[in-house]
């Protein structure tokens, strides 16, 4: 499978989000635009034959700290190394701009994401059970 990584658009994020069954409530354009307003952002999209199949979206918390906010891979394209390639490109970009750390939050139910973060030397710095007891939000940090 041939794929490429490039700068993406919010429309592509929404297209991908709507193909990910784990996302009960996909992100909306309004929510994404509101969160990114006045922030330095990086939006990477992986494409197979010109079709968006994965993305990684984050923004600067300050001059030295980047927050990797959202990401997903469409199910039929998982296991091909696309998520790892997106993570690598995000880290390369952050390092090139002088960021010293990347933060990420995930949920306990996203096992593949947790494993990838741990494999890439992201450290667990906090864990908060959800109020309804159905899952936990796990906070990761990687020093660059």
83 vs 72: CA distance, rounded Å: 8
Give pLDDT tens digits for 85-134: 999 999 999 999 999 999 999 999 999 999 999 999 999 999 999 999 89
Residue 48 buriedness (CB in 10 A; 0-12 / 13-18 / 19+):
middle
At 9, is the secondary structure helix, strand, or coil?
coil
Residue 39's nearest CA partner among 68, 13, 2 is: 68
Residue 73's nearest CA partner among 84, 88, 58 is: 84
Q: Is this structure's pTM higher than 0.75?
A: yes
Give pLDDT tens digits for 12-59: 999 999 999 988 888 999 999 999 999 999 999 999 999 999 999 999
User: How many domains is the chain built from?
Assistant: 1
Q: For position 126, which CATH number holds?
A: 3.40.630.30
pLDDT (average), residues 73-77: 97
Q: State the chain's mean pLDDT as an integer.
A: 96
pLDDT (average), residues 70-91: 97
- Residue-range definition of the domain harbouring residue 82: 3-143
CA distances from 65 to 11, 12, 17, 94, 95 (A): 26, 25, 26, 9, 11
């Amino acid at each position: 499978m041939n794929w490429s990584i490039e700068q993406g658009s919010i429309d592509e994020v929404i297209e991908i989000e709507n193909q990910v069954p784990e996302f009960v409530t996909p992100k909306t354009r309004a929510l994404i635009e509101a969160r990114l307003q006045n922030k330095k952002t990086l939006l990477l999209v992986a494409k197979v034959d010109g079709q968006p199949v994965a993305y990684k979206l984050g923004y600067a918390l300050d001059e030295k700290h980047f927050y990797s906010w959202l990401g997903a891979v469409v199910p039929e394209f998982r296991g091909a190394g696309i998520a790892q390639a997106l993570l690598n490109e995000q880290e390369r970009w952050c390092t090139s701009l002088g960021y010293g750390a990347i933060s990420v939050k995930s949920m306990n139910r996203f096992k593949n994401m947790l494993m990838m973060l741990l494999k890439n030397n992201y450290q667990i710095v906090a864990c908060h059970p959800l109020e309804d007891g159905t899952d936990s939000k796990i906070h990761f940090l990687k020093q660059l």
